[in-house]
A = this chain, B = another copy of it.
């Protein structure tokens, strides 16, 4: 519509029935038409702005790579239901604690004879031994919430992360429990692992070690095996440094993203002693203030399981210290920053099996939070790094089958050797699939 000059709205004077006083019919019609034109113009501008800003133009059909608006709406409805189930009365009550009450949180009824219970059970159930082929039975435990991630790409990386764990555990005879249930509403978030681990210990007497691993941690050395013989006198193995904990009292002196806990009475006791700072709400908030005051450099936020554990180790060293092994000779947990950029260099200079800075056992994406909304690092950097770690690990699996990724940032794979009519004469490069080591001592 070309404008040859400015238009102006004339004033009107109190015409309640909407008709201009004394205006001829033809002019009335013209007025109506002009009003209509303004309405259309405003609507047109609205649509243009919509399309330009949001790109909303694909109502149905569209590119196979795009999700139509109707699909997005259906998604949104279902996701909304899954994410925001209304709290029932019981939930509401649990979140408020009467300061005058004698509320004490407990993970469960006190058990004092778990070692005896377990020993008796194992004797009575020889078909479920606690070691197989001379190696202690390990149960790897991980998980994520039952609702889709706030950030949709988060679910894709949870999927890749569990595939990665499936690969390692298949090669090493380790069973996996992937938890997606909130067993205890009070112990939500990072504290959820405590009631979960306790529950699994008590239900799996055949398991010698529970291995907790965060969903944002990946195996990057598919050959490395835990040196269980080092831990025969210990019950709790975490990555960390004695001097950082007991000397510098650092709240990041160890990492609770990947640790081993022996299935025994001592461990039930440590879980009981660890839990009190966890219950969500007033208790966790107050405990957070205690921890922030105690630890230099710890930001102000609610109590997290890691700070709480370190606090407990420091203040109750005599109770727990002798059975805690702070491991730093290999990357039981490997902080991703500084590691992920070196994978190509590692491939050039080393090989899987070291598990340390030469070839990290575990690469742990602390602070990335791809499932959530708020992270400590740019999302793009995190996603690309996770993709690299995944492919770096995947290459070690694929080489068994004669493939590898074209490059660490690429999902595409290529052959590393030709197919043959004598496949059993081909050994995989790292002898991962049918390794020669067997019969390790039970620990």
Contacts and interface: CB of A to CB of B under 8 A. Distances in A.
B12 A10 contact: no
Given A14-B4, A150-B67, A162-B163, A34 B50 contact: no
A411 B35 contact: no
Interface string A65-109: 111100100110111011111000000000000000000000011
B411 A146 contact: yes
Interface in A29-46: 30-32, 34-35, 37-38, 41-42, 45-46
A398 interface: yes
A18 interface: yes
Interface in A368-401: 372-374, 378-380, 383-384, 387, 394, 398, 400-401
A203 B433 contact: yes
Contacts of A125: 434
A413 B4 contact: no
Contacts of A202: 423-424
Contact of A152 (B8, B34, B128, B152): B152
Contacts of A84: 65
A337 interface: no
A420 B54 CA distance: 56
A254 interface: no
Interface stretch (A178-186, A222-230, A280-288, A348-356): A178-186
Given A14-B4, A85-B410, A199-B401, A379 B74 contact: yes
A438 B226 CA distance: 30
B151 A153 contact: no
B34 A151 contact: no
A75 B152 contact: yes
Nearest to A374: B64
Contact of A8 (B30, B150, B166): B30
B180 A111 contact: no
A321 interface: no
Nearest to A83: B65
Interface stretch (A169-177, A245-253, A312-320, A358-366): A169-177
B15 A5 contact: yes
A180 to B, nearest CB: 6
A202 B149 CA distance: 38
Contacts of A387: 78, 82
B149 A109 contact: no
Nearest to A400: B203
A190 to B, nearest CB: 16
Max chain B Cβ within 10 angstroms of own Cβ: one of A170, A180, A423? A423
Nearest to A412: B85
B182 A176 contact: no
Given A56-B54, A121-B424, A373-B64, A181 B4 contact: no
B148 A156 contact: yes
Given A41-B42, A127-B438, A373 B67 contact: yes
A42 to B, nearest CB: 5
Given A166-B176, A177-B170, A413-B183, A419 B109 contact: yes
Contacts of A272: none
A431 interface: no
Interface in A182-198: 182-183
Contacts of A204: 433
16 contacts: A8-B30, A42-B46, A46-B46, A53-B56, A64-B373, A65-B150, A78-B379, A78-B387, A108-B419, A112-B421, A146-B411, A162-B163, A170-B176, A183-B403, A202-B424, A203-B423
Given A64-B150, A148-B153, 8 more contacts: A5-B14, A6-B19, A42-B42, A45-B46, A67-B373, A111-B421, A200-B401, A204-B433
**6 residue pairs, one from A and one from B, having the closest CB atoms:** A152-B152, A146-B411, A5-B12, A155-B155, A8-B31, A7-B9
